[in-house]
Amino acid sequence: MSILVNKHSKIVVQGITGRAGLFHTRQCREYGSTIAAGVTPGKGGTRIDGIPVFDTVEEAVQTTGADVSLIFVPSSAAADSILEAAAAGIGLAVCITEGIPVRDMVLVKRCLQGGAMRLIGPNCPGLITPEECKVGIMPGSIHQKGRIGVVSRSGTLTYEAVKQLTDIGLGQTTCVGIGGDSVIGMNFIDVLDLFNQDEETEGVFMIGEIGGGAEEEAALWIKKNMKKPVASFIAGLTAPPGKRMGHAGAIVSGGKGKAEDKISILKESGVSVCRIPTQMGETMLSALNG
């Protein structure tokens, strides 16, 4: 099985006529994803690569039955695009856009509370269910259908973990890049819970980084609820305090969010943690074997 997306998912791309939107739309379709429609205000009624383009998400959903939105809208308008997808009845929105103002995302989070739509991102690589559906910018060639769920705050480290899991024959059920901003949609616990319920996911690899308390919260949840082995890597062991490293959320301040603290609580919660990124696959294999 898989979580969130599968071969039946129908995607609408918001911002399909932009350079990045069109490039990655083609990549997703080449991988095998069903691209049902695109949305660019003012270009409704046209087609691009044979894909119908609509002025609004609501029109796209009503006409094509799309249930997943892939968002490549500029940061100034991305928050409105997320809310438009929710209002149109989309079940899952994946926002790739980076640089969305924190204030905008706080308002989005508040509006989505209690609603039916799940949000992945922003500032994320998206997600992929190997050999079924890719929604985002992850390189499809390194993925292989298998037994491990992957959830990560880091895009490039996700690719490294996936490649290692593929090379040692474990493969993946679904890989989810939740994004590294300080305010995001689905968090570690949301995704871990779905993997915990998925019959074909036998273990989970979690990639975290310095900054915030998401990893610590996930560790406590794992200790209480997780029925499957979890392995992890935390990036930023050598990062200097007070300096942001990569993502907007990757900053240690006030003595909180240090890599060592995250590693310590993960280990106390029964998670197998590797300190070197080249050992991610081996650590997951060891966790599976007890």
Active site members:
247
124 Cβ neighbours under 8 A, 6+ residues apart: 94, 95, 96, 136, 155, 177, 178, 179, 180, 184
120 Cβ neighbours under 8 A, 6+ residues apart: 4, 92, 93, 94, 95, 126, 127, 176, 177, 178, 179, 184, 185, 186
Helices (H) then strands (E): counts for the chain: 9, 14
In the chain, beta strands by DSSP E: 10-14, 34-39, 47-48, 51-54, 68-71, 92-95, 118-120, 126-129, 133-136, 145-152, 172-177, 203-209, 230-235, 272-274
Distance from C-alpha of 59 to C-alpha of 88, rounded to nearest angstrom: 8
Written as six digits, the tokens of 71 are 């968002």
Distance from C-alpha of 154 to C-alpha of 235, rounded to nearest angstrom: 9
Beta bridge partners of 230: 204
